[in-house]
Amino acid sequence: MKQGMDYVGSCIRPPSEANSILLQVTLGCSHGKCTFCGSYPDKKFGVKDEATILSDIKFAGRYMQRQERLFLMDGDALILPQRKLNRILDQINEHLPWIKRIGTYANAKGIRKKSLEELMELRRKKLHIVYLGVESGDERVLEDIRKGSSADELADLGQKIKKSGIKLSVTVLLGIAGRERSLEHARATGALLTRMDPDYVGALTVMLIPGTPLAEQEARGAFQLPEQEGLLLELREMLASTNLSSGLFISNHASNYLPIKVRMPRHKQEGLQQIDQALSGSLSLKPEWMRAL
């Protein structure tokens, strides 16, 4: 008898998917070049065989009937060919008909390969949210971190996800530009977010992971993370430069010194005031020992 789900290597999911069924359909990330990322050090990109995936779906169908959300791992399940991804979604809907929302990480390469019509087809099969790591809207920063896409392309791809009816959750990184370009990065990222108009923005703070190119740059003095005050100023500038039609701007990840949750655009000014309070010292910050990835 099957004892549990088949998971290979380290597994990562967004904080908002904490209570979701985690179904691993790919291994690692098809891009795998970002200088800051140490998410999948133990595996190369690959696609799991469909027999294993179906076995996991059936296991979840027997033992996970209270969970109404499912998340496709690893780094970019959207890279799968449309036919294969359709089969997986069909099997999920057949064996787990109570699932209301399916989510996945995506990168520029995966979205680029999907037409608007294909994304709409996935939406009809309950793929209701895509998490896209944008990191920055600054062209120089995107090039430095080897993101593999420009701000213009990221804007176009984000808009394509939105047009398909799939909700878009975007991740950006505080500190990724270092000290010198901190505010330029913040303003350019706010401008990109405004163009994309995602449903959710999650601002995380860069944490240097041993063995990554970015950590090696920091060790030899080629990169310096902003200090607490600099990170707060960057967060403020980014929020001030971001104009969304609706949705949430959140910085409540464990890596951040100041957790904020701003309903846009209604509570934007309140969010800026909260950051100002932290800058003035009247609002306490998360202690260093509590920060984590």
Q: What is the CATH number of the domain that holds 218?
A: 3.20.20.70
2 part of a folded domain: no
The counts of H helices and E strands in the chain are: 10, 10
96 part of a folded domain: yes
pLDDT digit string (tens) for the chain, length 293 residues: 567 899 998 888 998 999 999 999 999 998 989 999 988 887 889 999 999 999 999 999 999 999 999 999 998 899 999 999 999 999 999 999 999 999 999 999 999 999 999 999 999 999 999 999 999 999 999 999 999 999 999 999 999 999 999 999 999 999 999 999 999 999 999 999 999 999 999 999 999 999 999 999 999 999 999 999 999 999 999 999 999 999 999 998 889 999 999 999 999 999 999 999 999 999 999 988 888 87
Number of domains in the chain: 1
Give the pair of three-digit tokens for residue 152.
């213009």
- Ramachandran angles phi, psi of 205, nearest 5°: -105, 135
Kindly give, in sequence order, each residue whose CB lies less than 8 Å from that of residue 111, ignoring residues fewer than 6 positions away: 78, 119, 130, 132, 157, 160, 161
| pLDDT > 90 fraction of the chain, expressed in percent and rounded | 87
Using an 8 Å Cβ cutoff, are 230 and 195 in contact?
no
Task: Determine the pLDDT at residue 2.
Answer: 65
Peptide bond into 74 cis (omega under 30): yes
Residue 289: its H or E element: none
Which residue, 230, 218, 205, 201, is CA-closest to 291?
Answer: 205
Task: Determine the pLDDT at residue 112.
Answer: 95
3 part of a folded domain: no
20 part of a folded domain: yes
Task: Determine the pLDDT at residue 253.
Answer: 87
106 part of a folded domain: yes
* CA–CA dist 178, 151 (Å, integer): 18
Using an 8 Å Cβ cutoff, are 190 and 241 in contact?
yes
83 part of a folded domain: yes
278 part of a folded domain: yes
Task: Determine the pLDDT at residue 1.
Answer: 53
100 part of a folded domain: yes
Q: Which domain holds residue 153?
A: 15-290
DSSP for 215-262, written as a single string = HHHHHTTS-----HHHHHHHHHHHHHH---SSSEEE--STT-SS--EE
The arrangement of strands across the sheet holding 261-263 comes to 21-24, 69-73, 101-106, 127-135, 167-174, 200-205, 248-250, 261-263
Kindly give, in sequence order, each residue whose CB lies less than 8 Å from that of residue 221, ignoring residues fewer than 6 positions away: none
